[in-house]
Each structure stands twice: as C-alpha cells, then as structure tokens.
A = this chain, B = another copy of it.
Amino acid sequence: MSNEIILTEVALRDGSHAISHQYTVEQVRSIVQSLNDAMIPYIEVSHGDGLGGSSLQYGLSKVDEMKLIEAAVSVSNFSKIAVLLIPGIGTIEDLKEAKKLGAKMARVATHVTEADISKQHIETAKELGMEAVGFLMMSHMAPVETLVEQAKLMENYGADIVYVVDSAGALLPHEVKERIRALRQTLEVDIGFHGHNNLSVAMGNTLAAIEEGATRIDGSVRCLGAGAGNTQTEVLVAVLDKMGISTGVDLYKLMDMAEEIVAPILPKPQEINRDSLTLGYAGVYSSFLLHANRAAKRFSVDSRDILIELGRQKIVGGQEDMIIDVAAGLANK
C-alpha cells in the first residue's frame, strides 16, 4: 500500500453524463478554479463519452468540449487537465487539438477485451509529449487473466498508467483486489482504479484497490458521474487522510467547493435508486436502461430481467439490437 495517492477528478467528464452534457464555460471555469485551489493534481474535461462524444447518439454537448478544455486550462496553474478518448468515438485529430489547448494527459479508453485498438492513440499521446493512460472499461466482464493481458498490451504501447475501470459499478471489493493484485504482479507501470457506486461499494472498492497497490484513483466531487456516480472525491480525501495516506489535496477547500459550487449544479442528487442498482447488479451500461424499459413494456416482462440477461450474455455498447431479442426470449419462456 502506497502512502501517496494521485487523484484525478472526473466530475467534468464522467459527471457530464449526470447533467446531460450541459456544462457551460462559466461552470467549468468555476469548478476547475476551485479544484485547482484545493490542489487536485488532475482534472479530466471532455464529453461524458470522451472527445468527439457530442452527437445525437451519445448526447449533444451544450458547449463544444474544446472550449471547455480551453477554459479549464486558462484557470489552472496547478492542476493538469486530462482528456478522455475512446477510439472510434474520438480521433487522433481531437487529441492533437486538446493537446494544443493545453491538455497534459490523454486517457485512452477501450472495452476491457479491446486494448489493441488503443495502440495508435497511446503512441500519439506519447509523441505529443502527453502522459498516456490506458483505461480498461467494463473490467468486470473479463476474467483476471484476460484483464492482465490487455493491460500488458497498453503498457507495451507506452501507457504510463493502466486503469481498472468498473464502468457499470458491478465489481465487489474481493474482485477488485484480485484484479489489482494480478496487475501489480505483472505490470511495471502505475495502476489506477475508477469506480462507480451502483452497488454502494465505490469507496470500498477504491480502498481495496489501494490496499493492493493502486496509486492512481479517480473520484468525482459529490459523486457527479454516470449511473450512481463515482467514488466521492472529497470523502476519499478525508478517508485517506484518516489512514495517513497523502493526496496533497486541501480537504476543507474541496468540501467547500463540493457543497457550494458543485451541489447547486446537480439536477438531482446521486442516490442509488432502482435503476442504478439494477445496472450495477446486472453489470451493464446505463445507456441500456431506456432500451430495456421500452422492450419491457412491449413484451410485458420486467426490465430488470432483461438487463440481468444482457449482463449474463456480456452484451456491450453497440449491441443494443440484442435487447429486443433478449426481451422476446424472456416473453416466450
């Protein structure tokens, strides 16, 4: 267990989902300024689905993310600005533009079994002089050995850090432990963890990851993230402080900005409700929910049964047509 953890705040990227990608320049400026004051080392700014995510399919951003990145860079003299890039949604050109605007870290995200599509993007990030992170999404969907292989690919492409990403909030502490432990035994680079709170264990999982040697952790102030939100950053800083682990972050300043700047922006608080719990329990992306609800009505089945079956079949984003098949199958039973 390291006595120093380096945090990345994701409220301005993952949290973008929670506010339907409606961040304004003023909001980004005031959030980044206060995070910078609180000495948060990295702040991720992008559409919820990464650079280039603004679209009818993923949700249109209110403001061009490049403008938001520019605003973030302009008010942060301590915090480094990071961007998320999902190859296939974002492009190399997007990455170059973000770099030109002052972004210092590129987080290249792929499904846990598809690390090979990150090669070009990780290499480009390094050529541009950025820190490069490999971000293995839906990590609960692959066996530990596969996760390790995929992480190794990202390390080989030049990633400085590889993250275990629990996109659906479906992992439990003992599962996080075995994943981080296996990576720790195999990789040379730093290991990170990104949790979601759908099963109320974002913090428990984060502590489990740290116990096994993860040193890079994502959090979002006031849980501002997809599903039930992420590991709550200001709470994590308090917990790590109690454990004698340093983050370099000013706890009071972070608590104050969470309460005074972020909470008022939230359209609704990040509770674990029936929907977000179902997503974590089923282990599927939150984007499936609406489709599953529609199919449930059409075939008179419980949408939870659909989502659980989708999770069992390891259906991922892009395979939304399977939702009707699964619903029809359940109705025939």
Q: Which residues of A contact B (CB under 8 A)?
A: 172-174, 197, 199-205, 207-208, 211, 222-223, 231-232, 234-236, 238-239, 241-243, 252, 255-256, 258-259, 263, 268-274, 277-278, 280-281, 302, 304
Given A200-B202, A232-B272, verify A207-B259 contact (CB < 8 Å): no
Which DSSP category, helix, strand, loop or mixed, fits chain A's interface?
A: helix
Asked whether, in the complex, the Cβ of B172 is within 8 Å of the Cβ of A238, the reply is: no
In-complex Cβ contact of A201 among B203, B223, B259 (8 A): B203
In-complex Cβ contact of A238 among B173, B174, B199 (8 A): B199
Q: Which of A197, A232, A277 is the most central at the interface, judged by chain B CB atoms within 10 Å of its CB?
A: A277
Asked whether, in the complex, the Cβ of A278 is within 8 Å of the Cβ of B255, the reply is: yes
User: What's the least CB distance linking A299 to chain B, in Å?
Assistant: 17
Query: Can you list 7 A-B pairs with a CB-CB distance of less than 8 A?
Result: A173-B208, A200-B232, A222-B271, A232-B272, A255-B274, A255-B278, A268-B269
Considering the complex, give the chain B residue whose CB is closest to the CB of A243.
B172
Residues of B within 8 A of A223 (CB): 271-272
Given A203-B199, A255-B278, A277-B255, verify A272-B235 contact (CB < 8 Å): yes
Given A235-B200, A238-B280, A242-B172, verify A271-B271 contact (CB < 8 Å): yes
Q: With the chains together, A242 CA to B274 CA distance in Å?
A: 16
Residues of B within 8 A of A256 (CB): 274
Residues of B within 8 A of A271 (CB): 222-223, 263, 269-271
Residues of B within 8 A of A173 (CB): 173, 204, 207-208
Residues of B within 8 A of A235 (CB): 199-200, 272, 277
Copies of this protein in the assembly total 2
Asked whether, in the complex, the Cβ of A234 is within 8 Å of the Cβ of B201, the reply is: no
Asked whether, in the complex, the Cβ of B255 is within 8 Å of the Cβ of A200, the reply is: no
User: What's the least CB distance linking A280 to chain B, in Å?
Assistant: 7
Q: With the chains together, A277 CA to B263 CA distance in Å?
A: 14
In-complex Cβ contact of A200 among B203, B259, B302 (8 A): B203
User: What's the least CB distance linking A233 to chain B, in Å?
Assistant: 10
Q: With the chains together, A281 CA to B252 CA distance in Å?
A: 12
Residues of B within 8 A of A202 (CB): 200
User: What's the least CB distance linking A43 to chain B, in Å?
Assistant: 21
In-complex Cβ contact of A252 among B201, B208, B304 (8 A): B304
Considering the complex, give the chain B residue whose CB is closest to the CB of A251.
B281
Q: With the chains together, A263 CA to B269 CA distance in Å?
A: 13
Asked whether, in the complex, the Cβ of A239 is within 8 Å of the Cβ of B200, the reply is: yes
Residues of B within 8 A of A281 (CB): 238, 241-242
Considering the complex, give the chain B residue whose CB is closest to the CB of A231.
B200
User: What's the least CB distance linking A42 to chain B, in Å?
Assistant: 21
User: What's the least CB distance linking A301 to chain B, in Å?
Assistant: 12
Q: With the chains together, A211 CA to B274 CA distance in Å?
A: 26
Residues of B within 8 A of A174 (CB): 211
